Structure 1
Amino acid sequence: MTVWPLAVYFAAVLLIVVVMLSLSYVLGQRHDEPSTGSQYESGIVSEGSAQARLSVKFFLTAAFFVVFDLEAVFLFLWAVAGRDLGWSGYVEMAIFVGVLLAALVYLWRTGALDWYPATARGKERP
């Protein structure tokens, strides 16, 4: 098995990236106005600090969403090719869904999906 097609592809991608960045640098607009370096969002001058501390729950929820959303893509692809895959594809997808459900139950039981601790809701966790 030769690797030259992969090397050519890699070289072509690098060449395209270098050409696009070079053209952007050469042909891009250059202006130095007082408002160029200021923060601007939706026409409103921002107030306060951008260094707000967020709970790790936001990031966990985003990671769980990405993981389970990606799994939904796999399920959609399986549904499209379901007849061609036959029973072996069905069994594999059933195992896949079983692992997803086990992961969801594990996250639920460990409290990773709870936004507030159990004591804040007024009840103790068993």
Structure 2
Amino acid sequence: MLGEYLPILLFLIVSAGIGIALLVIGSLLGPRQPSAEKLSPYECGFEAFEDARMRFDVRYYLIAILFIVFDLEIAFLFPWAVVFKDLGMQAIVAMTIFLGILVVGFVYEWKKGALDWE
């Protein structure tokens, strides 16, 4: 029974060892030059340690949500691409319609200016 799982166990041990080794080597040999720019908030849209009731720009969240929506929709292409040769014409037409709707939505968001950061 152990012989069946030995390759999987070996793979997990080797991959964990490589991951840990890379983290240790990076922390030992990596440059440590903190600056004001490196220590500042990164892509948060507003200062992180101010009053919680302050007004903030919602454009950051809008772009993040649009990225997630379009990114997840593209993820539907991977299973379709794996079985592409086994699919009939009906599935190809369905995917073409799906991609067309996705492109129309993207163009709509682009024309409305939702992707512009001013």
Q: TM-score range by the shorter chain?
A: 0.5 to 0.7
Matching of residues 84-99 of structure 1 within 5 Å? 84-99=86-101
Q: Normalised by the size of structure 2, how large is the TM-score?
A: 0.53
C-alpha distance after superposition, 1:58-107 (max 9, x if no partner): 11111111111111110111111212222111111010000010001100
Shift of 1:55: 1.1
State the AA in 1 paired with 2:82.
V
Q: Which has the larger radius of gyration?
A: 1
Quote the RMSD (CA, aligned, Å). Answer: 1.8
State the AA in 2 paired with 1:112.
A
After the TM superposition, which segments of 4 or more aligned residues of structure 1 sit over 6 Å from their partners? Answer: none
Matching of residues 12-91 of structure 1 within 5 Å? 48-49=49-50, 51=52, 53-91=55-93
State the AA in 2 paired with 1:49.
E
How many pairs are equivalent? 70
Q: For residues 82 and 50 of structure 1, do their structure 2 counterparts lie closer, same or farther at Cα, with a shift above 3 Å needed?
A: farther
Q: What are the ranges of 5 or more consecutive residues in structure 1 without an aligned counterpart? A: 1-46, 117-126
Distance 2:59 2:106 in 1: 16
**Could you tell me which residue of structure 1 aligns to residue 106 of structure 2?**
104
Higher RCO (C-alpha 8 Å, min separation 6): 2
Q: Normalised by the size of structure 1, how large is the TM-score?
A: 0.50
